């Protein structure tokens, strides 16, 4: 099971682009990379998932280098409402586990 | 479309009691997973059911059990409650197996006194 390492916390300002990097040196061939967002007292919300290269949706982009040992979640032009905990998960279909997450604080 | 629903929202129990938590997945989703989230930590995987069969089990004692019904709803049961079982219990559903996109409910806040 690939273990993930993310920064414990990050600060940003409204309107900036935020990049959160996750390290997963032991990622396996079948593992996906998934990011979730969680607000206090709510369940996590799926943001984006990828296997390799770049994935983009209406909310974020996910950049995965060729060796897949890390990934970067990119949030364009953050707002105050993006203040939350962001989790990087790595695993296959039968085993995905949450780490401690990155607490992002967006300031005005 | 309705999201994942869980009941009850909050629950207070006494040590040694038993509790049953309920989850209704998004329509069309056949996979339901249960997680325990202690304050300040990430969710910890407890169980996953896909098409009414247990597909995964986390590192939790046998006091924790679950099942999935023919309509894909699910129940999580915890026996002989301990103070340490106090947590937010999250249910997530997915069209795929657990590793793919999961959609979480609001959770049930369990307090054991």
Q: With contacts defined as CB-CB under 8 Å, which chain A residues touch B102?
A: 44, 46
Tell me whether B45 touches chain A (CB under 8 Å).
yes
Percent share of chain B, pLDDT over 70:
96
pLDDT, tens only, A27-49:
888 888 999 999 988 899 999 99
- State residue A10's pLDDT score: 97
A-interface mutation test, from B60, B99, B101, B110, most A Cβ less than 10 A away? B99
Q: What is the DSSP string of B15-79?
A: TT--EEEEEEPPTT--EEEEEEE-TTS--EEEEEEETTEEEEE-S--TTEEEEE-TTS-EEEEE-
pLDDT, tens only, A69-95:
999 999 999 999 999 999 998 876 556
Instruction: Please give, rounded to a whole number of angstroms, the shortest distance from the CA of A93 to a CA of chain B.
Output: 4
Query: Could you say which of B91, B99, B107 has the minimum Cβ distance to residue A32?
Result: B99
- State residue B14's pLDDT score: 98
């Amino acid at each position: 099971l690939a273990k993930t390492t993310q920064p414990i916390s990050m600060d940003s300002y409204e309107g900036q682009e935020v990049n959160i990097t996750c390290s997963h040196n032991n990622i396996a061939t079948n593992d996906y990379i998934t990011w979730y967002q969680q607000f206090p007292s709510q369940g996590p919300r799926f943001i984006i998932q990828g296997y390799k290269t770049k994935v983009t949706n209406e909310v974020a982009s996910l950049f995965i280098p060729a060796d897949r040992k890390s990934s970067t979640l990119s949030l364009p032009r953050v707002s105050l409402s993006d203040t939350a905990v962001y989790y990087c998960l790595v695993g296959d279909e039968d085993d995905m586990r949450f780490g401690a997450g990155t607490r992002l604080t967006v300031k005005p | 479309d309705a999201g994942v629903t869980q009941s009850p929202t909050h629950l207070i129990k006494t040590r040694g009691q038993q509790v049953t938590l309920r989850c209704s997945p998004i329509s069309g989703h056949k996979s339901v997973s249960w997680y325990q989230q202690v304050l300040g930590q990430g969710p910890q995987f407890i169980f996953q059911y896909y098409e009414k069969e247990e597909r995964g089990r986390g590192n939790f004692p046998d006091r924790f059990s679950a099942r999935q019904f023919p309509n894909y709803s699910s129940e999580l049961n915890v026996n002989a409650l301990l103070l340490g079982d106090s947590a937010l219990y999250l249910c997530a559903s997915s069209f795929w197996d657990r590793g793919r996109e999961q959609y979480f409910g609001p959770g049930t806040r369990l307090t054991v006194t």
